[in-house]
Amino acid sequence: MTSGTRIVLAALCAWLAVSPIPAVAEIRPDTGRDLIQPSVYVSMQKWMLDKRFDGWMFTGQGTFNDVESEFLGLRGKTKHRWFIFYGALATLHKPYLFYHKDDEQVFEGVAFYPLEYRSYQEMKEVLKSHVFSVARYIALNYSPLLEVSEISQVDLGTVELLQDIGLRLRSAGSMLSFYHTRWTVEEVESHKYAATRLDSVLPIAVERLRDRLSRNRKITDYDLARYIGKSLGKLDLELVEPVVVAVGEHTLKENYVPDKKNRTRIAPDDVIYLEVTARRKGNREAMHARLGWTLVVSETIAPGLQRSWDRITAAADTALALVARRIRSSKPLTGREVDEAARPLLSRDPHVLPRALGYNLNRTGRHFGVRFDNYLYLDNREVMPGLGFTLEPGIYSQRYALRLCANMFIEGDREVTLSAPLQRQPIAVLGDPALVGEAFVPPLD
């Protein structure tokens, strides 16, 4: 071998040493799709800096969980532990991906700053050199003391590892709630469209019940649910969830759907809870509305029942007033505080309402969004403009539940609005039809 050949070979080896041959599934930050839109990432960075977070970390192994698949859009499963880090520094335009070589195919086509590791020690060193160098306080999808169990998705070992490299951890609950469930302008408009028309379902249902019962004709919960479902088409609406028609003791169940094989006949003095969730017909991207009402098969409402209902509306009014006051004054408000303020007005016994006072309303379901809850959860996530909620105070007894479901939205200008009027009296199905509308008239001050 000549000296010239040796020089060429040496140069080639040196080039290969610093320029490894790209893998088939090479990950590059300047190509591929973004897990989170750049404009949203910029907004997240401002939010993190305002809250004094240095970044937001996602991590997992195996099949991607609900947060990773719904919020980030990741699909498939990994063999090894991975970390995705969204830094708060404005100079960062893509997230970091810490991953094992074996999992490169899983993340192919996504834009990251890729950082590969081969061993446990390398994983730890890479995390420390690239995260700890720019961050101290990071948001993580976990809940202190398991106060909000649905977002607590990081195991203790991962928490210990991150703390060992010097990071201080905070819950990402409020950030996940806001960026995963806030409404777009189109969703606001489509929700209002649905709520306005859905409010017309109640008189349709009452008229159907009155017509059948006044003529001593049989009608069941299943019959009424089907009738309502078929009526939605004329209102330019379609069902998102099955119609809830709960009679008597079935009103104690949160999402009772009538059974075709085990129908319940509706009879005099029955308490009925009716709930319908629908959106604009033919538009799967539209935001739905969910409204619920309590009816009684009688000509009048008993005084005792009305007194119970007055406590329900007092709880709803208190919740609405608190949200409006705090939001307009730009003072922080948590979901837990809303429940704490309203629940005592229902009863001294907190178990009289065995669920949350209200839930986050969004197109993907109730997951990951702050809710008005100091009962099942201790929800310390922040209530913010751009979010929608159901408001569902109720009083549960041994025989039945008195319930309502209203929808509220916090506008970008900090106005808090109800999508449809609040029911202030139970509906007497066999009473004067003209009085149905009066059940939604607020009392005079």
Question: pLDDT tens-digit profile of 296-307?
Answer: 999 999 999 999
Instruction: Please say if the pLDDT value at position 105 is more than 50.
Output: yes
Tell me, yes or no, whether 217 lies in a domain.
yes
- pLDDT at position 31 is 63
Q: Tell me, what's the pLDDT at 11?
A: 38
Contact 353, 393 (CB under 8 A): yes
Question: For the chain, what percent of residues have pLDDT higher than 90?
Answer: 82
**264 and 258 Cβ atoms separated by less than 8 Å:** yes
Domain count, the chain: 2
Q: Are residues 165 and 282 in the same domain?
A: no
Question: How big is the CA angle at 257 (ends 71 and 364), to the nearest 5 degrees?
Answer: 10
Residue that finishes a domain, picked among 124, 149, 180:
180
Rounded to whole angstroms, the Cα distance separating 143 from 151 reads 6
Q: Which spans in 219-370 are helix H? A: 221-231, 303-328, 335-346
Q: Considering only CA atoms, which of 18, 209, 184, 24 is closest in space to residue 104?
A: 24
Among 145, 165, 180, the domain-final residue is 180
Is 230 within a domain?
yes
In a domain, 2, yes or no: no
> Residue 136 is which amino acid?
R
Distance, CA of 418 to CA of 308 (rounded, Å): 22
* pLDDT at 133 > cutoff 70: yes
The answer to whether position 12 is within a domain reads no
What local confidence, expressed as pLDDT, does residue 19 receive? 35
Domain CATH code at residue 110: 3.40.350.10
Which residue matches tokens 């009816």? 295
In this predicted structure, what is the pLDDT of residue 439?
79
Q: Which of 1-15, 30-44, 176-190, 216-230 has the lowest mean pLDDT?
A: 1-15
Residue with the larger pLDDT of the pair 3 and 194? 194
160: left (phi over 0), alpha (psi -120 to 50) or beta: alpha
269, 217, 226, 267: which is closest to 245 by C-alpha? 226
pLDDT class of 337 with cuts at 50, 70, 90:
very high
| Domain assignment of residue 349, given as a range | 182-440
Give me the pLDDT at residue 296, please.
97
User: Are residues 174 and 80 both part of a single domain?
Assistant: yes
DSSP 301: -
Cβ atoms of 276 and 202 closer than 8 Å: no
pLDDT tens-digit readout, 372-410? 999 999 999 999 999 999 999 999 999 999 999 999 999
Which CATH number do you get for residue 404?
3.90.230.10
Residues 300 and 370 in one domain: yes
* Same-domain status, 189 and 91: no
Instruction: Single out the residue of 146, 135, 196, 194 nearest to residue 169, CA to CA.
Output: 135
Does residue 24 carry a pLDDT above 70?
no
Measuring CA to CA, how many Å separate 444 from each of 32, 92, 391, 393, 441?
Answer: 59, 55, 22, 22, 9
Q: Based on the domain organization, do 431 and 342 belong to the same domain?
A: yes
Residues 303 and 172 both lie in one domain: no
Q: From CA 98, how far away is CA 125, in angstroms rounded?
A: 11
Query: Among candidates 302, 304, 303, 322, which has minimal Cα distance to 314?
Result: 322
Question: Do 282 and 402 belong together in one domain?
Answer: yes
In sequence order, which residues have a C-beta less than 8 Å from that of residue 191 and are 6 or more positions away? 183, 286, 287, 288, 289, 388, 407, 409, 419
DSSP at 131: I
- Mean pLDDT score, 124-130: 94
pLDDT higher than threshold 90 for residue 435? no
Residue 10 lies in a domain: no
- The per-residue pLDDT for 70 is 87
Q: What is the per-residue pLDDT for 437?
A: 78
Averaged pLDDT for residues 237-244: 96
Residue 416 lies in a domain: yes
- State whether residue 267 is helix, strand or coil: coil
333 shares a domain with 291: yes
175, 186: one domain: no
303, 238: one domain: yes
d(CA 366, CA 416): 20
Q: Are residues 198 and 174 in the same domain?
A: no
Asked if the model's pLDDT at residue 7 lies above 90, the reply is: no
Higher pLDDT residue, 357 or 255? 357
- pLDDT tens for each residue of 149-185: 989 889 999 999 999 999 999 999 999 999 999 999 9
pLDDT at 15 over 60: no
Q: Is the pLDDT of residue 98 over 90?
A: yes
> In this model, does residue 21 exceed pLDDT 50?
no
Q: Which long-range contacts (CB under 8 A, 24 or more apart) does 241-246 make?
A: 241/277, 241/290, 243/274, 243/275, 243/276, 244/273, 244/274, 244/275, 244/276, 244/292, 245/221, 245/272, 245/273, 245/274, 246/221, 246/272, 246/273, 246/274
Mean pLDDT of the chain: 90
Task: Answer yes or no: is pLDDT of 190 > 70.
Answer: yes
Domain boundary among 137, 161, 180: 180
Residue 415 within any structural domain of the chain: yes
The pTM (predicted TM-score) of the whole model is 0.89
Q: Are residues 289 and 406 part of one domain?
A: yes
Region of 331 please: left (phi>0), alpha (psi -120 to 50) or beta. beta
> What was the pLDDT predicted at 295?
97
Q: What is the DSSP string of 17-30?
A: HHSPPPPTT---TT
Q: Which of 26-40, 220-234, 354-368 has the lowest mean pLDDT?
A: 26-40
Instruction: Say if residue 209's pLDDT is above 60.
Output: yes
Answer yes or no: is 9 within a domain: no
